[in-house]
Copies of this chain bind each other. A is one copy, B any other.
Amino acid sequence: MSFLDHINACNAWTRTDFLPWGLAGDILGWVRPAFAEQVVAASAPIDAPKTGGFTLDWLGPELRILSWHAANLDWDAREHAFARLCQQLQTQDSLPAPQGERYPVTPGRRDQARCSIDRAHAPFFGTRAFGQHLNGYVRGHDGLELWVARRAPDRRHYPNRLDNMVAGGLPHGADLRENLRKECFEEAGLSAEIADRALPVGAISYCRATRAGLKPDLMYCYDLELPAELTPVCTDGEVAAFERWPIEQVMQTVRESDEFKLNCNLVIIDFLIRHGQITPDDPDYFELVQRLRSPIP
């Protein structure tokens, strides 16, 4: 186990297992071929340009793309066509039940969304997911200490595993500052005044294949220096307990175990580099710095 192993684990996917899908020349995501065929069948491609249907087209030998014929539709019509498609795919069990949180469907930035998608459906369509991760830390007498969250045992994803103090997805259209306040309150019981002290310090990106599909993630990273007397309290049940660890213990746990939720390792590695804990004497230093921001397909 090494720092690089965690980066590799977050970047495990094979391009040939997926087809791009797009709209008017822009790639919006990546789908498994079998799912692409279900999309085409479910989207009623007759008179596709008017109804926002999908077709599977050959771009070249061995190179197919799932095309969404919605370039002539306005935002509302695209939303409507895409929602109808997802509902049909749910009905036939090709998509799970929605989570009720909307994510952007975008070829690039959050503000370039072409429509929105339910969070639970995003990996099936391999759309970019944006999020915010925050490391809460204290400058103790003996050096840095990091607040670590133990996830609740009833969580669907990664029960009992370690987590960053605050971490959450960024819904479509959400304001960065307001969403961070919301997450800081829900996950750690922090006031808006404390949350607003969080410093944006960069971003990480990675792309991973899961059973559902593809997860290209872009995460904004924040540092929040906390007073020694403050203890975070979870208000939404996601976290079972908070612990304050010396930075050396955090570093060792990340380097030598799988205790942390997969992507949290990367957020902490970035923290360790920026705070001079992982030093340029580490032979993997440059590779770590570069690969924390893997190109998103």
Instruction: Show the binding face of A for B, using Cβ within 8 Å.
Output: 109, 111, 176, 199-203, 205, 218, 220, 273-276, 279-281, 283, 285-286, 289-290, 293, 295
Contact = CB atoms under 8 A, between A and B. Distances in A.
Nearest to A292: B293
A286 B199 CA distance: 16
A289 B204 CA distance: 8
B111 A286 contact: no
Task: Report how many copies the assembly holds.
Answer: 2
Nearest to A284: B109
B274 A202 contact: yes
A174 to B, nearest CB: 12
Given A111-B283, A176-B281, A283-B111, A205 B290 contact: yes
Nearest to A111: B283
B283 A200 contact: no
A276 B134 CA distance: 13
A201 B274 contact: yes
Contacts of A286: 109, 203, 205, 218
Contacts of A205: 286, 290
A280 B203 contact: yes
Contact of A276 (B200, B275, B279): B200
A289 B281 contact: no
Contacts of A289: 202-203, 293
Contacts of A274: 201-202, 274
A290 B295 CA distance: 8
A109 to B, nearest CB: 6
Given A289-B293, A293-B289, A295-B290, A202 B273 contact: yes
A233 B276 CA distance: 26
Among A200, A205, A276, A295, find the residue whose CB has the most chain B CB atoms closer than 10 A: A200
A293 B291 CA distance: 9
Nearest to A109: B283
Contacts of A283: 109, 111
Contacts of A293: 289-290, 293
